[in-house]
Amino acid sequence: MITQEQINRLRELDKEATLGPWTYDGMHSEIHAYESANGAFLIVSELREHPGDKISDEYGHAYNPDFDIIAESRNALPALLDALEDRQHALEAMRMAKDCAVEENVSLRRTLAELADEISRIRAERDALADIAIRSREPP
């Protein structure tokens, strides 16, 4: 499980990183971010091509899934962290609800046991009184 400290660290990195969305065009060894102020693309990272890259055209452009995952992960990170924290909060709320239900169940069991004891005591008194009433009607 990812700890809150790890989530906080990833949020810090997200704030410090170049604003997204990041893109990879599937051909060049660069990841770009769109700069809205002047409409240009910023090169966020130039990546080294690898021998396993898949050549995608006659110009030697290569597709590398590592570049794609870096860009897509950067774009998805804030939403993933939000979803993770939402799930963790929901899980904590369910744990607290379960703990309350367990405490309530213990309390109800205790109350039921006390009521059962009281019923037994009342029945014993009733039976004792019935015995006295029966004996008082018997001839001496």
Q: What is the pLDDT of residue 118?
A: 95
* Residue ranges of the chain whose pLDDT lies below 70: 35-41, 47-61, 138-140
pLDDT at 134: 75
Count of structural domains within the chain: 1
Kindly report the pTM of this predicted structure.
0.62
Domain that holds residue 18: 4-137
Angle made by CA atoms 54, 22, 24, in degrees to the nearest 5: 15
pLDDT given at position 133: 72
For residue 64, the model assigns a pLDDT of 76
Distance, CA of 68 to CA of 57 (rounded, Å): 17
CA dist., res. 128 & res. 123, Å (int): 8
Give the pLDDT confidence score for residue 83 in this predicted structure: 95
Please tell me the predicted confidence (pLDDT) of residue 72: 92
Q: How far apart are CA 96 and CA 103, in angstroms?
A: 11
